[in-house]
Amino acid sequence: MPTLKIEYFASLREKAGVTQESFSGECSSYKDLYEKLSTIHGFVLTADMIQVAVNDEFASMSDPVIDGSKVVFIPPVAGG
């Protein structure tokens, strides 16, 4: 069962109420992980709207989860 360090930004951080947390559980991909975290925190953005970075490099939501990784979920942001 992988143990991961999860970090959130922008609207995901606001919804989760934390900037980071540890997660330990079964998940086959980063999409699967995001969907589990969405259930826990009530995220409204779907996985196809989110970017993921693993160990400081952009990754695909379909990539297999690597135990011990730092995972950052990045929502779309608007600037002005």
5-62: pLDDT as tens digits: 999 999 999 999 999 999 999 999 999 999 999 999 999 999 999 999 999 999 999 9
What's the residue count for the chain?
Answer: 80
Reported pTM = 0.92
C-beta separation of 63 from 29 below 8 A: yes
Domains of the chain as residue ranges with CATH: 3-74 (3.10.20.30)
| Residue 64, beta-bridge partner list | 29
Can you give the three-state secondary structure of 43-61, one letter per residue? CCCCHHHCEEEECCEEECC
Phi and psi torsions of 49, nearest 5° = -95, -5
